[in-house]
């Protein structure tokens, strides 16, 4: 991770640049802020500064160096995000070297990398970060906090039967799946698979699902998107998924 002072300086510069782009193209762009996660004491402050400049949320990784996202050092950040209504998008990240050594090596270099990232490891890592955030009691302390996960909620959405068994032993007020239903929004990152939609609708509601591509990696054609939208039962659900949920979550007038 970046040295703290450099992280603060670069986050400000990135957020100012993004705010300027949004100002120039208000009908095309909105920005999620970049935070100095290696300087936890300054993250809430930069979140607030970027929010005041029009940023509609923030995007973080599940780990900064050795510090996991559920580290108590970030609790002020989550408090600020809840209070300011700034959703926190947890973006997948390459797993730590220790994790790669333990689980993702032993093939050729490219397969090792694919296994640790886009084919598998990224998603376990983001899902584990989200689950740890729940187990840490984050949503008991900050019930208004909203998290966004890409890729259909990473793997978390598919494993709630088991993850729910952790609710009580972690001393949570509610079940893991209950936090997922009330404190998480899910984007699809271009994975237009009706089976994943169907499963998502079995654990959360259509109000929580948000269309997204993953440009330039996943960019379905207009026809593929239209065909996928046919899987929604009503025009209203299609509208929620396509734009209304995102507009409501990020406070965007469309």
Q: Are 133 and 147 in contact (CB under 8 A)?
A: yes
**Would you count residue 224 as binding a second copy (CB under 8 A)?**
no
Distance separating alpha carbons of residues 237 and 249, to the nearest angstrom: 16
The label of the residue with tokens 């990020």 reads 250
| Shortest Cβ 27–a second copy spacing (Å) | 32
H or E segment to which residue 124 belongs: helix 121-135
How far is C-alpha 76 from the geometric centre of its chain's CA atoms? 18
**Would you count residue 61 as binding a second copy (CB under 8 A)?**
no
**214 catalytic, yes or no?**
yes
**Would you count residue 93 as binding a second copy (CB under 8 A)?**
no
Decide whether 18 or 124 has the Cβ nearer to a second copy: 124
How far is C-alpha 117 from the geometric centre of its chain's CA atoms? 16
Distance separating alpha carbons of residues 156 and 204, to the nearest angstrom: 12
**Would you count residue 89 as binding a second copy (CB under 8 A)?**
no
Residue 55 in tokens: 């940023």
**Would you count residue 208 as binding a second copy (CB under 8 A)?**
no
Q: Figure out which of the listed residues 24, 110, 223, 235 binds a second copy, where binding follows CB under 8 A.
A: 110
Please give the backbone phi and psi of residue 232, each rounded to the nearest 5 degrees, phi first: -80, 145
Distance separating alpha carbons of residues 209 and 130, to the nearest angstrom: 17
* Binders in 141-200 for a second copy, by CB under 8 A: 151, 155, 158-159, 161-163, 165-166, 169-170, 191, 193, 195-196, 198-199
Q: Is 171 left (phi over 0), alpha (psi -120 to 50) or beta?
A: left
Decide whether 35 or 115 has the Cβ nearer to a second copy: 115
**Would you count residue 98 as binding a second copy (CB under 8 A)?**
yes
User: Would you say how long the chain is, in residues?
Assistant: 254
* Binders in 65-84 for a second copy, by CB under 8 A: 68, 70-71
Catalytic residue among 76, 125, 214, 230: 214
Q: Which residues bind a second copy (CB under 8 A)?
A: 68, 70-71, 95-96, 98-99, 101-103, 106-107, 110-111, 114-115, 118-120, 123-124, 128, 131-132, 135-136, 151, 155, 158-159, 161-163, 165-166, 169-170, 191, 193, 195-196, 198-199, 202-203
């Amino acid at each position: 991770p970046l040295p703290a002072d450099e992280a603060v300086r670069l986050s400000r510069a990135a957020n100012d640049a993004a705010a300027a782009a949004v100002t120039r193209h208000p009908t095309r762009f909105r920005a999620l802020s970049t935070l100095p996660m290696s300087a936890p004491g300054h993250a809430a402050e930069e979140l607030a500064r970027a929010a005041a400049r029009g940023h509609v949320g923030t995007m973080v990784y599940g780990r900064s160096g050795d510090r996991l996202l559920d580290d108590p050092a970030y609790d002020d950040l989550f408090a600020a995000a809840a209070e300011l209504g700034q959703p926190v998008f947890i973006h997948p990240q390459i797993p730590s070297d220790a994790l790669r050594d333990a689980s993702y090596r032993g093939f050729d270099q490219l397969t090792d990398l694919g296994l640790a990232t886009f084919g598998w490891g990224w998603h376990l890592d983001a899902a584990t970060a989200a689950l740890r955030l729940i187990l840490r009691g984050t949503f008991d302390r900050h019930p208004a906090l909203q998290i966004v996960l890409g890729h259909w909620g990473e793997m978390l959405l598919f494993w709630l039967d088991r993850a729910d068994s952790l609710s009580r032993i972690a001393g949570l007020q509610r079940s893991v799946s209950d936090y997922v239903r009330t404190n998480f929004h899910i984007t699809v990152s271009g994975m237009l698979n009706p089976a994943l939609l169907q499963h998502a609708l079995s654990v959360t509601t259509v109000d929580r699902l948000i269309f997204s591509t993953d440009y330039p990696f996943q960019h379905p054609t207009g026809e593929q998107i239209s065909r996928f939208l046919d899987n929604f039962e009503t025009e209203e659900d299609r509208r929620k998924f396509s734009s209304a949920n995102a507009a409501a979550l990020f406070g965007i007038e469309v």
